[in-house]
């Protein structure tokens, strides 16, 4: 579903924004680390050092009520000819174990060195099943500097 340019653009971005909504449609947007493979975007729930509650994160609670989500990764530049973004929409599954959960954790650890020292095996993975892709602007990969 993703074009080669869209896939390359996403691979070059380090953070995206995940938008969820609760059963009443109240929105919630958070920055997330991510990996894309086989028609899904994966986000792990990582160790939250400031988190004291045993209640699931708001994004997880929202997805349990309303699994429809959106994700966007964008690039801003003062040279507006370089602006671009890719938006993914779809439904989510919360993976708590199994081969897909484990493979997603491997992908995320490969992409983000910070995850390599975290205990993620018991933590859930959000799997956004990509149903719709929208892109705009300049998706070419470039080196700044």
Model confidence pLDDT, tens digit, residues 83-118: 999 999 999 999 999 999 999 999 999 999 999 998
Say how far residue 1 (Cα) sits from the centre of its chain. 16
Q: What is the pLDDT of residue 51?
A: 53
Q: What is the pLDDT of residue 80?
A: 95
Residue 129 has pLDDT above 70, yes or no: yes
Give the number of other CB atoms < 10 A from CB of residue 136: 11
Q: What is the pTM of this model?
A: 0.91
Model confidence pLDDT, tens digit, residues 14-24: 999 999 999 99
Burial class (CB in 10 A: 0-12, 13-18, 19+), 72: middle
Model confidence pLDDT, tens digit, residues 38-53: 999 999 987 665 555 6
Backbone Cα Rg of the chain: 15
Cα→Cα distances 143→10, 84, 140, Å: 15, 15, 10
Q: What is the pLDDT of residue 43?
A: 97
Q: Supply 118's token pair.
A: 């975290």
Quote the mean pLDDT of the chain.
Answer: 92
Q: What is the pLDDT of residue 121?
A: 87
Q: What is the pLDDT of residue 55?
A: 76
Which is the CATH superfamily of the domain at 4-137?
Electron Transport, Fmn-binding Protein; Chain A (2.30.110.10)
Give residue limits of the domains in the chain: 4-137
Cα→Cα distances 125→18, 42, 56, Å: 13, 7, 12
């Amino acid at each position: 579903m993703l074009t080669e340019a869209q896939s390359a653009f996403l691979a070059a971005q380090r953070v995206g924004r995940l938008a969820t909504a609760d059963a009443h449609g109240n929105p919630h947007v958070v920055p997330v680390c991510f990996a894309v493979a086989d028609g899904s975007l994966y986000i792990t729930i990582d160790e939250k050092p400031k988190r004291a509650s045993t209640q699931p994160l708001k994004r997880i609670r929202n997805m349990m009520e309303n699994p429809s989500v959106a994700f966007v990764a964008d690039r801003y530049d003062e040279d507006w000819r370089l602006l671009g973004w890719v938006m993914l929409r779809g439904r989510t599954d919360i993976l708590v174990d199994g081969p897909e959960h484990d493979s997603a954790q491997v992908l995320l650890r490969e992409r983000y060195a910070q995850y390599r020292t975290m205990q993620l095996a018991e933590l859930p993975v959000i799997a956004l099943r990509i149903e719709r892709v929208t892109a705009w602007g300049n998706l070419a990969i470039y080196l700044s500097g």
